[in-house]
Amino acid sequence: MSLISTLARLEAVSTGRAQPAATVRHRHLGDRPLVFVPLITAGEAGAPLGALVGTDRDAPRLLVVPQPRDRDLRFAFLADLADVVLPYVDAYAEVVEAAERTETDPETGKRVKVEVDLCADAPQLIVPSRAGIDLVRLLGRSMRFRRTAEQDPEAPYPAPPRVPLLGRWLTHFGERARVPGSSLLLAMTDVLGRHWATGQSSLEDQHLGALLAWIDPPEGMTGAEAALKAELERDAQGQLTCPPAGPATDPAFDNKLLAPAIERYDRARTALAAAEDGLEADERLGALTSAEQEIRDLVHSRTRPTWDAVWRGLDLLRELPEGAHVEERWTRDRWSFTGHRDRVLAGEPPQPRRDDAVTAANKLATREREQARLEAQEALDDPLVMAGRRLAGEAFAGEVTDVVMAYSDGKRPSPRPLVTVRTDDRPHLGERTKVYRSLGGKPQSAEFVADEEDGACVVLRILDKMGRGKEPEPGSVPEKGDRVCFTLFEHEQRGGAKLPDPEETPWTHGGPPGEATLEAADPVTEEDVL
C-alpha cells in the first residue's frame, strides 16, 4: 500500500468518512450498463440460485432456480439469462463506425493500414464484487463447450440454443476484466475502492454494503458504525439486514429460510408427479407454484438490496468527472468487443480451455503494458494520484526558477536548455535519470543534471519536442515562473517484440501446439445429475 493511501485510510478512520482517492473517474461508465447480481448455491460451485439482471434500475428481471441441483431448471435459468444478455450485447454489435487498423499483409509481409468496422460503443457488465467476476468466468467456462441439440443431436443433455454463445460472451467479458484499466466487466467494490479510501482493510472493502457505508454513511452515523451495522445487524429472525453482495449467501439464510423453502418445493413437485387425476394435479400444481413463488420472493429479498446498492454506487461514481484518458482506454475495450464479435460471426470455435504458449505470453505482455499505461495515465489525469506518486519520489512538481540556453555538441547543434525547478518534493533522481512532462498531451523528456541547495532545486536538461530549428519552438521550453510537473515514469508504453506465431512455437516451449481441435464439453459426472 502506498504512503498516500495509508494516510487516506488513517484520515478516514479519524474523520469517520471515506476519503477521496481520486478527483476524477478513472473507469468508463456507459449510459446503459447491464447490472448483474447473481447468487449461487452453497456447497456447489457454479450452481446458480438466482439473479437480478437488467439495465433499468426500477425494473430488474428476476431469474430463479427453485431447485439448484436440477439440471433442467439450471439450463432454463441460463437460457433466460441468455435472453437478457445476448440481445443487450447484440444491440452494440450492430452499430459500427469505420476505423483504421494496421495489419500484416499475408502476401508481402508488410504492415499496411486497412479499413475495418469498429463498434461505436460496447456493452458493459457490472457485478457487485470481485467474486461476481469469478462467477461470470465460471459460468462462461461451464457453458461455452456445451452442445445444443442442433449442433450435436447425440448430446446426452443438449443445452438450450444460445446458451453456448452466452458462455463465449461471458468468457470474453471475464478475460477482458483481467486487463488493467478495462471497463467491459467491472466489479462495483473494485471501482468504488479505487476512488475512495475507507477506514477498513481492502479485504473488508469487498463487502459492498460496508464500503458504501463508509463512502456515504446515513445521517448521524460515522462510516465505521454504519459499516459495522451493514456487516452484522440482524433482524428478529436472525437474518442480516444488509445481505452479502454475493454470489455466496449468508448461511443463516441458507439454513433457516432457503433450505426449508426448497424442501417444500421438492415435496410439492413429488406430489404433483404422483397426482392421479386432473383435479388433483391442478390442486398440486397450485401448491407447486406457490412453493416456487416463495423461493422467488426469498431470492428477490436477498438480491434487491445489492441491486439498489450497485445503482447507488453508480450514482456516486457518475458524480465524478471522467478522467481525460478514460475514453482512450474505452476505445481499446471497443476494439476487444469488436474483435470477439467478428470471431463469433466468422464461426470460430469457442475460446480454448487453456491458452497455448504464444497466446499466454502475448496476453501477459499486453496486460503488463496496460498496467504501466494505466498507472501513468491515472497520474496524468488526476492531481491526487500524481500527489501519491510525488510522495513516493516518482514525480515532482515545482516552479521554474531559471532557464539557461545550451546546445548539444555536434555538427548541427540542437537546443538543450537547462531548466532549474524549485520543488518541495524529494524525487529519487540519479545521474542522468530521465524525467518526463506532458506537453500538449505528448511526453517531453529531460534528464537530471544536478541538484542545488540541498535538493530544493533540480536542474534538468530538456532533450526533445523543441522542433527542428536551432531555436526551440515557442512554448516548448518552460519559462521562469512556470509551474511544471515531471515524472520519473514514462507516459507512453512501447510495444514489445513480436512473438513467433503459435505454429512456430520453439522447442523450448514444447513446439507447435498442433491443429486446434473442437474441445468437447466436460463429461457428465454423477454429481451433475443428482
Partner 1 sequence: MTTVFDPSAAAAQATDAILHDTLHGTARGVVVDSPPGAGKSTLVVRAALELAEAGHPLMVVAQTNAQVDDLVLRLAEKNPELPVGRLHSNDADPYDKALDGLENVRKSAKAADLAGQAVVISTAAKWAHVKVDEPWRHAIVDEAYQMRSDALLAVAGLFERALFVGDPGQLDPFAIVGSEQWAGLSYDPSASAVTTLLAHNPDLPQHRLPVSWRLPASAAPLVSDAFYPYTPFRSGTGHGDRGLSFAVPSDGSGPDRVIDEAAASGWGLLELPARHTPRTDPEAVRAVATVVRRMLDRGGAATSERSPDPSPLTADRIAVGTAHRDQAAAVRAALADLGVTEVVVDTANRLQGREYDVTVVLHPLSGRPDATAFHLETGRLCVLASRHRHACVVVCRAGVTDLLDDYPSTEPVQLGTVVKFPDGWEANHAVLAHLAEHRVAWRP
Considering the complex, what minimum distance in angstroms separates the CB of residue 338 from partner 1?
23
Neighbours of 161 (CB within 10 A): 13
Separation between Cα atoms, residue 331 and residue 121, nearest integer Å: 8
Residues that bind partner 1 (CB under 8 A): 178, 180, 354-358, 360-361, 363-365, 367-368, 370-372, 392-393, 428, 432, 496-497, 499-500, 504-511
Please say whether the beta carbons of 100 and 114 come within 8 A.
Answer: yes
Smallest distance from partner 1 to CB 355, Å: 7
- C-alpha torsion angle, residues 410, 414, 420, 421 (rounded to 10): -130
CB nearer to partner 1: pick between 80 and 394: 394
- Which residue, 304 or 363, is less far from partner 1 as judged by CB? 363
Q: How far is the CB of 348 from partner 1 (least distance, A)?
A: 21
Query: Which residue number, 344 or 365, has a Cβ lying nearer to partner 1?
Result: 365
Place of cell 496496460: 370
User: Closest approach of Cβ 436 to partner 1, in Å?
Assistant: 14
Which amino acid is present at 245? A
Q: Cα 238–245–58 angle (5° rounding)?
A: 105
**Least Å distance between CB 149 and partner 1?**
33
What is the nearest approach in angstroms of partner 1 to the Cβ of residue 132?
Answer: 17
Rounded-to-integer distance, Cα 321 and Cα 22, Å: 10
**Closer residue to partner 1 (CB): 411 or 498:** 498
Using the minimum distance from each CB to partner 1, give the nearer residue, 411 or 530. 411
Nearest CB to partner 1, comparing residues 346 and 497: 497
Q: Which residues of 87-97 are buried (b: 16+ CB within 10 A; e: fewer)?
A: ebbeebbeebe
Which residue in the block uniquely carries the three cell numbers 439486514?
A: 241
3-state SS assignment for residue 187: strand
Residue written as grid cell 461451464: 142
CB of 357 to partner 1, least distance (A): 4
Give the Å distances, CA to CA, from 116 to 49, 101, 335, 339. 42, 7, 11, 11
Question: Percent helix, strand, coil in the chain (nearest 5)?
Answer: 40, 20, 40
Q: Are 38 and 51 in contact (CB under 8 A)?
A: yes
Q: Which is nearer to partner 1, 294 or 394 (CB)?
A: 394
> What DSSP string runs through 486-522?
EESS-SSPPP-PPPPPGGG--GGGTS---S--PPPPP
CB of 371 to partner 1, least distance (A): 5
* Smallest separation, CB 511 to partner 1 (Å): 8
155 or 361, CB closer to partner 1? 361
Nearer to partner 1, 56 or 501 (CB): 501
